[in-house]
Amino acid sequence: MADAAPSPDTPPVAVVVVIFTVVDGGLQVLLIHRSAEPHRGLWAIPGGRLNPGEQLVEAARRKLVDETGVRDVYLEQLFTFDGLDEVTPGGSLAVTYFALVDHGRVRLASRTDWRPAWFTMHRLPPLAFRNEEVLAYALERLRNKLQYSNVAYSLLPTRFTLSQLQRVHESILGRELDKRNFRKRMLSLEIIEATDERQAEGAGRPALLYRFTSREPVVI
């Protein structure tokens, strides 16, 4: 590893956070409307400059809190892209993260310019900065993570029904799952446990509420 001698020739570094949530059966992502050039009028993944002395993950958490007001959610580094922003001479870097938030806890920043909004992943608006690539990569990672970790804890309230959990999985995977197999698997993984409470969902039999045995990331 080279000595890191200070130099003016170092590219600007942005930290960018793909924020996912699931709302009534759809996987959604938070985007910002650009009111300034470049790419004015397009939508972009929220992000900003890394402050001097700030750690990457701190910067990502800061962006997340700025945009949604939530903290203590699942946050993972995705990939570092270069040249996303094709206008900076000498190039630029974007260290991307992805985060999962329970829609019920989010309070979107209300700004007149740069307004944030949720978009369904399969109906995205025109995006700035090759953000299609970033989102595609984030979705792929999320789908993988879902299979062998408990990340879904970050998308649901502390107590939830198995049907809610199944809908979250279905939204992310983009396909329907068999109810019996899904329940069997979730319970055998021992990442969730039943509480003694029930919750009615409109008409129909009330469902048992479950909780995650751990609300920290756990690899299965």
Residue 80 is encoded by which pair of tokens?
A: 């570092």
Residue 189 CB, nearest distance to DNA (Å)? 8
- Closer by beta carbon to DNA, 82 or else 201: 201
Pick one of DNA, a second copy, none as the site partner of residue 201 (Cβ within 5 to 8 A by kind).
DNA
Which backbone phi and psi does 57 adopt, to 5 degrees? -70, -30
Among 52, 122, 216, 220, binds a second copy (CB under 8 A): 52
Footprint of DNA (CB under 7 A): 161-163, 178-181, 183-185, 188, 198, 200-208
Asked if 55 touches a second copy (CB under 8 A), the answer is yes
Angle CA 128–132–136, to nearest 5:
155
Longest dimension (CA), the chain: 67
Give one DSSP letter per residue of 47-72, joined into a string: EEEPPTT--HHHHHHHHHHHHH---S
Q: How far apart (Å, rounded) are the C-alpha atoms in residues 186 and 189?
A: 5
Residue 134 CB, nearest distance to a second copy (Å)? 9
Which region, judged by CB under 8 A, interacts with a second copy, from 4-12, 65-73, 118-126, 179-187? 4-12
Pick one of a second copy, DNA, none as the site partner of residue 207 (Cβ within 5 to 8 A by kind).
DNA
Among 80, 147, 158, 213, binds a second copy (CB under 8 A): 80
- Closer by beta carbon to a second copy, 203 or else 220: 220
Q: Please give the residues from 89 up to 128 whose contact with a second copy meets the rule CB under 8 A.
A: 89-95, 128
Q: How far apart (Å, rounded) are the C-alpha atoms in residues 136 and 21?
A: 15
SS3 state of residue 96: strand
Asked if 82 touches a second copy (CB under 8 A), the answer is yes
Q: Please give the residues from 124 up to 183 whose contact with a second copy meets the rule CB under 8 A.
A: 128-129, 131
- Closer by beta carbon to DNA, 6 or else 202: 202
30 within 8 A of 40, measured Cβ to Cβ: no
- Closer by beta carbon to a second copy, 1 or else 203: 1
78 within 8 A of 137, measured Cβ to Cβ: yes
**Where does the chain have alpha helices with state H?**
56-68, 131-147, 162-173, 179-189
SS3 state of residue 44: strand
Q: Which residues lie near a second copy (CB under 8 A)? A: 1-14, 16, 32, 36, 38, 44-56, 77, 79-80, 82-85, 87-95, 128-129, 131
